[in-house]
Chains A and B, each alone.
Chain A
Amino acid sequence: MKNHIRFLGLLCASLGIITIAHAQTPLDGLMMPKGEICIALQYDQVTWDRYWEGSTIRVNQNIGNFTKQMGMPMVVGGITDKVNVILSLPYVKTAASAGQLTSVQGIQDLGISVKALFLEKPIGKGKLTGFSNLSFSTPASNYLSDYMPFSLGFGANELGIRAIGKYELDKGPYFRASYAYLQRGATEAERDFYYADQAYYTSKMDVPNAFQGQLTLGSWLFNYRLRVEASLTTIRSTSGDDIRVYSMPQPTNKVNFGRVEGFAQYYFKSGGKGFGLIASYQQAISGRNMGQFSGYGLGITYQFKAF
């Protein structure tokens, strides 16, 4: 019974986590049963007033407070009990409080992700589960990636492959770890010459690939109606150049960061069906070539049996 509730309860949970660079990647350890669908509307906002230029903190009064807002509809569906599909399509808006550069907004990247449960094994007073996940995202509008930090995204396809392991005690607490490799393609600039440690005579910019790791401690509370998590995430680019002194960032930059996050999800009905709410807070704790961001997210979810 408890396991069953856990299964139902879950899914919408996939939704809580936003990365700064692009749409959410589903990296939780939950699975929706066949025929269940969860739809979600998520709002996230991050701000920063200083950024890492390479590894040096820079304050730029011609940017002031930088804000990135994201509204994201998302759908998670159980194809089978062991395979879920997740779709997302964020709308992003960026703006700076100072300086004269114009803000931008628009549809960012369409994300499609398939998650498969491949391991489920009771151990001691809990259960170990393992998932693999393949995600793909692609720009869904002709936004200009070479307009950083304002650009909506990095403007390239991303293929992610991820492993997720979770150990959950029957009483509710759980530990989760995930590790992913994110393969990015090239983005198209509107200039055909740029400098990234050397001159490039092309409008193609190579967006660095990255590894992403995450450790999470969480627990179910109140008979599986509330879930709380604290997590630590790190992104490490495998290549790329640093932002040059007092210069603009560009999609070729080596972007690294570490982030802590708190997350809570509440279901109005036990069992997971019906409406739920999500709230999160995140903060950068280290970084390279990106804003020292902090921000929050709010979401509403609705889950139902579709077939």
Chain B
Amino acid sequence: MKKYNYINIGLLLITFLVSSCVEDLPTKYDFTGYQYSNLDANAGQWKLILHTSNEQIPLPIPVAAGSPGLLKELADAKEKQGKATSAQREAVTYWTNNPLLRWNEIALELATKYNLIPAPNPDGSYPVPDPANPSKYPQFPYSHPPYTSRMLAYLSVAQYDGLIMAWQYKYKFKRQAPYQLDPQIKSSYENNGLFSYPSDGAVVAIASRDVLTAMFPLEKEFLAQKVQEHLESLVVAGINVSSDVEAGKLIGTEVAKTALSRASTDGMKNAQTTRAKSDSIKNAAKERFGWVWENQETPQRMVGLVPLFSKVRLWNVPNVEAIRPGPPPAPNSPEFQKAAAELKQYANNLTTDQRRIANFWNDGLNTYTPPGHWNRFAKEEVVASKLSPVRTARVFAYLNMAIVDAGIGCWDAKYYYHYPRPIQSIPGFKTILGTPNFPAYTSGHATFSGAAAEVMAHFFPVNASQFRTWAEEASMSRIYGGIHYSFDATAGLTQGRQAAAYSISRAKLDGVD
């Protein structure tokens, strides 16, 4: 009997050991504050996107060093730093001295949270989110790839314009940072000597909060709590005094207003159409080409995803026709047959590596979508290159303008050509990925990725070939997954690259790359 007791004790021990080695899984990008590779002293002269002048938002002239007002602020900052709670110190570590990256990460998380497709009503119809009543099911927004791409563009452009203005004033007023003015104040980050008035962190915090609150109205309280934590951390970290923060808030508020005013009239509110409008778009394609895409779900979705996203205002591409590809091969043409045979071939002989690629790039419902995926790559690249906040904002602004322009062009092609998906055209075809609720040609993955890779290649030329390889892989992933033909992908990559070219040539006007 004793022998069995030993066995039992052994079993308990093993269970304990197994349970004690479960690790915490990462919920954010693991990086800390860093020394900027360049302070970008002349960034105040870079080209604004939505504003006309780098002093368009007036700031009060900061009180001088040694003045009683600033001394009091420094004393206050010192006290806050001395009395910081462990939660406040953790916040300093979390936000880092390039907090735009955290706000971008928060944006991706919200995009993911709201990327759920509406479920059918009992009568087989489908409800649509209502921006006027965001909490009613289905919640507003449905953060699908077009929505997310547009949201990221507004976020990034507001951040960028705000930081150009911040840099303009920093180098105009040249107020030294608290840790330089008072030796008892320690910077929690590298002492890089960046002027502190206005606080670039506060610009980013407020601009991001305001844009994201408009884009995700149900997250208002969550974002308010984030912004409070972030603003507090700027003083606790020893890099700003309260007047720096207040001045930054002024800029953040105004740039968000400008961005949101553009957003309110950019055509997005009409992108999801009525059934009648959707039918007329469908009929136009039928008359033009003789084919038409139909949703294959049960119950059938009678209106595809945002048929009029193509009408949303572009950022840098002059018009959708400028990047519209030629028509896809007609169903049952030899070229089509070849592409269909290729899909069947993959479906029947998918390798482990091809399956992995299909799933790695799936970025479907309940994810941050392909635009989010490329923003994540950009974040990692920015940290690796130790970019300053303003140069970081520049990368994201041009990246996300190119991505949303590519998306608008892609959606134009999708509903202009209204091309059927493989599950519609190939009888009995089964896939490992879910087929989205919009036409096939051109591939959104290919278009978004083609655009993103080119912008990344421009800003990070050392890794250009890596980005282009990723874009090709993202395009192929949809073919492995059985939801796109190869010509959807090829045309999409080209279309995306063309969209990016407009964004890149605008970026070149700064003359800093």
**What residues of chain A have their CB less than 8 Å away from a CB belonging to chain B?**
58, 61-62, 82-83, 98-103, 114, 116-118, 132, 134, 142, 144, 146-147, 159, 161, 181, 183, 185-186, 189-195, 198-202, 204, 206, 209, 244-248
- In the complex, what residues of A have CB within 8 A of residue B5's CB? 118
Q: Contacts A100-B431, A132-B11, A198-B109 given; indicate if A185 touches B27 (C-beta within 8 A).
A: no
Least CB distance, A116 to chain B, in whole angstroms: 5
Least CB distance, A42 to chain B, in whole angstroms: 26
Q: Contacts A61-B298, A200-B25 given; indicate if A144 touches B355 (C-beta within 8 A).
A: yes
Rounded to whole angstroms, the CA-CA distance of A125 and B366 in the bound complex is 60
Which of B112-120, B225-233, B316-324 is the interface stretch? B112-120
How many of chain B's residues have a CB under 8 angstroms from any CB in A?
A: 55
Contacts A58-B119, A116-B4, A161-B11 known; list 12 others, CB within 8 Å: A99-B298, A101-B434, A102-B431, A102-B482, A103-B430, A132-B8, A146-B359, A185-B22, A190-B360, A195-B113, A199-B27, A247-B365
B376 at the interface (CB under 8 A from A): yes
**B362, A191: Cβ atoms closer than 8 Å:** yes
Q: Bits for B350-375, please: 1 = Cβ < 8 Å to A, else 0.
A: 00100110111011011110000100
Q: Contacts A132-B11, A247-B365 given; indicate if A100 touches B429 (C-beta within 8 A).
A: yes
B435 at the interface (CB under 8 A from A): yes
B68 at the interface (CB under 8 A from A): no
- In the complex, what residues of B have CB within 8 A of residue A192's CB? 360
Rounded to whole angstroms, the CA-CA distance of A198 and B25 in the bound complex is 11
**A189, B430: Cβ atoms closer than 8 Å:** no
Least CB distance, A296 to chain B, in whole angstroms: 27
Rounded to whole angstroms, the CA-CA distance of A82 and B299 in the bound complex is 58
**A206, B432: Cβ atoms closer than 8 Å:** no
Rounded to whole angstroms, the CA-CA distance of A213 and B482 in the bound complex is 42
Least CB distance, B330 to chain A, in whole angstroms: 23
**A183, B359: Cβ atoms closer than 8 Å:** no
B287 at the interface (CB under 8 A from A): no
Interface residues of B in 103-147 (CB under 8 A from A): 105, 108-109, 112-113, 116-119, 137-138
B1 at the interface (CB under 8 A from A): yes
Which residue of B is nearest A246, CB measured? B119
- In the complex, what residues of A have CB within 8 A of residue B105's CB? 199
- In the complex, what residues of A have CB within 8 A of residue B373's CB? 193
Least CB distance, B368 to chain A, in whole angstroms: 7
Rounded to whole angstroms, the CA-CA distance of A192 and B376 in the bound complex is 11
Rounded to whole angstroms, the CA-CA distance of A98 and B428 in the bound complex is 11
Least CB distance, B6 to chain A, in whole angstroms: 10
**Interface-central residue, A82, A98, A190, by most chain B CB under 10 Å:** A190
Rounded to whole angstroms, the CA-CA distance of A82 and B352 in the bound complex is 44
- In the complex, what residues of B have CB within 8 A of residue A190's CB? 355-356, 358-360
Which residue of B is nearest A157, CB measured? B18
Least CB distance, A16 to chain B, in whole angstroms: 24
Rounded to whole angstroms, the CA-CA distance of A193 and B366 in the bound complex is 10
Rounded to whole angstroms, the CA-CA distance of A192 and B138 in the bound complex is 27
**B26, A202: Cβ atoms closer than 8 Å:** yes
**What residues of chain B have their CB less than 8 Å away from a CB belonging to chain A?**
1, 4-5, 7-8, 11-12, 14-15, 18-19, 22, 25-29, 105, 108-109, 112-113, 116-119, 137-138, 296-299, 347, 352, 355-356, 358-360, 362-363, 365-368, 373, 376, 423, 429-432, 434-435, 482
Which residue of B is nearest A250, CB measured? B366
- In the complex, what residues of B have CB within 8 A of residue A82's CB? 4
- In the complex, what residues of B have CB within 8 A of residue A159's CB? 14-15, 18
Q: Contacts A159-B15, A189-B359, A190-B359 given; indicate if A202 touches B429 (C-beta within 8 A).
A: no
Q: Which of A189, A206, A247 is B116 in contact with, Cβ under 8 Å?
A: A247
- In the complex, what residues of B have CB within 8 A of residue A99's CB? 298
Rounded to whole angstroms, the CA-CA distance of A128 and B50 in the bound complex is 81
- In the complex, what residues of A have CB within 8 A of residue B360's CB? 190-192
Q: Contacts A183-B18, A190-B360, A191-B362 given; indicate if A200 touches B26 (C-beta within 8 A).
A: yes
Rounded to whole angstroms, the CA-CA distance of A142 and B355 in the bound complex is 12
Q: List 10 A-B contacts (CB under 8 A).
A: A83-B4, A102-B431, A102-B432, A132-B11, A134-B11, A159-B14, A181-B15, A199-B28, A244-B366, A246-B118
- In the complex, what residues of B have CB within 8 A of residue A147's CB? 432
- In the complex, what residues of B have CB within 8 A of residue A98's CB? 298
- In the complex, what residues of B have CB within 8 A of residue A245's CB? 116, 119, 137-138
**B118, A101: Cβ atoms closer than 8 Å:** no
- In the complex, what residues of A have CB within 8 A of residue B434's CB? 101, 248
Rounded to whole angstroms, the CA-CA distance of A114 and B360 in the bound complex is 39
Q: Contacts A102-B432, A199-B27, A201-B26 given; indicate if A118 touches B1 (C-beta within 8 A).
A: yes
**B116, A244: Cβ atoms closer than 8 Å:** yes
- In the complex, what residues of A have CB within 8 A of residue B7's CB? 83, 114, 116, 132, 134
Rounded to whole angstroms, the CA-CA distance of A103 and B108 in the bound complex is 32
Which residue of A is nearest B16, CB measured? A183
Which residue of B is nearest A64, CB measured? B298
**A144, B359: Cβ atoms closer than 8 Å:** yes
**B108, A100: Cβ atoms closer than 8 Å:** no
Q: Which of B18, B113, B347 is A185 in contact with, Cβ under 8 Å?
A: B18
Q: Which of B26, B297, B352 is A142 in contact with, Cβ under 8 Å?
A: B352
**B430, A100: Cβ atoms closer than 8 Å:** yes
Q: Which of B12, B118, B435 is A161 in contact with, Cβ under 8 Å?
A: B12
